Amino acid sequence: MRLATHRPPGLVVTDHMFTVPVDHDAPGGATIELFARELVTPTRERDELPWMVFFQGGPGFGAPRPTGRGGSWMERALADWRVLLLDQRGTARSSPINGRTLAAIDSAEAQAEYLGHFRADSIMRDAELIRKQLVGPDEQWDLVGQSYGGFCITTYLSIAPEGVRQAFVTGGLPPISRTPDEVYRATYPRVLDKNRRYFERYPGDRERLVKIVEQLATTKVRLPGGDRLTPERLQVVGIEFGMAEGFERVHYLVEEAFFEDADRPVFSERFLHGVEAVTSFHGEPLFAALHEPIYCQGTASNWAAQRVRDEFPQFDPTSAEFVFTGEMIYPWMFEQQFCLQPLQAAAELVAARSDWPPLYDATRLGECQAKVAAVVYHDDMYVDAAGSLETAAAVKGLRAWVTNEYEHDGAYMDGKRVFDRLVKMASGEL
């Protein structure tokens, strides 16, 4: 269903809504709504352009909200494509997943079963239904995916490769045969290395963090939303370390943590608001609920990040040298964060589920006919480069660009160059 068309400077934006089944294996059952924005430049509005659908990182994040196109991957894409920004199921303007919507489901078991329909396999089957409506059942379209969006693309090439002409992956080739435990055993050493580099750049922050942790251990400090700020929650700020400006964002928080109030240090409002903004899942509870299951195929995660963390004592929040964690979800988050507490019982069942269906088909990937180009960020904290290169070798014809020029957000920091290079690689120009 086409909803409305808007004309901000340099763009023609058309809103769409699609109805899809919750369970694609039961198409006659319950349905949900999917929202998407179609973008095209004013000068090419009436041209017969190929379609490109964008898959956002996550899981659990809506598509970018376009405010312009200068200098971004989108500027390059809109030169030759009609772009569709999809709010993946459960996110943003699509039928949302949150504490209130899950509360309408009458048991934790039913909630957990419902959450199981929000992984990449369902997202890709949604996309196939949309392709057939927008492009035509016999026409292909092109894909671009950032981070988890690359996981989705790899699933797409496993489930419905006939719908894909070209695919471009920016920092998101998944480890298709690794278990969650293996993923985190590869991830924690990279996070430690990011900590090392951070404290080399800002050595004075060690002393500041000692004072911060001492204060948290002796005082019940509340964040603006009411959650208690604990040392382990402070560690989660390290999720920023995988981005180009992450070290600086964390440093500026740490250096402004206190203002002096008579005889004792008091946390600044700027610090508390900043920590909450980085560590809260208020807007993206689906990220917390399904972050580990994106790695599950026929196995349970059983809170892999928490279990594997115990193999790395450096991350003990009571350690003499404070160390930040990275992009990990821990069971205590569903106890400490008010926004996640309604999901806690279902999240425990999701973590224990062992019958997850496969997300990838090695045979189909090895027979891939689509042109695929991917950038692999050598120092990526979130997606292990070694696992990405294993996958690159498994996808027929995939061309990989390995670089340490960028962090995980290279497609946003220098998107026009990154995307243009992938386009040229897929075409054989490079």
Supply the residues annotated as catalytic. 147, 355, 408
Please list the helix, strand and coil fractions of the chain in percent, rounded to the nearest 5, in that order: 45, 15, 40
Residue burial 177-201, b: 16+ Cβ < 10 Å; e: rest:
ebbbbbbbbbbbebbbebbeebbee
Whole-angstrom distance, CA of residue 143 vs CA of residue 165? 8
Task: Give the CA radius of gyration of the chain.
Answer: 22
70: its two tokens = 């200068």
- Cα separation, 286 vs 88, whole angstroms: 11
Contacts 24+ apart (CB under 8 A), 17-23: 18/126, 18/129, 18/130, 18/133, 20/89, 20/125, 20/126, 20/129, 22/114, 22/117, 23/117
User: Within 10 Å of residue 134's Cβ, how many Cβ atoms?
Assistant: 17
DSSP string of 172-193, one letter each residue: ----TT--HHHHHHHHHHHHHH
Residue 353: DSSP 8-state: -
Cα 281 from Cα 244, distance rounded (Å): 22
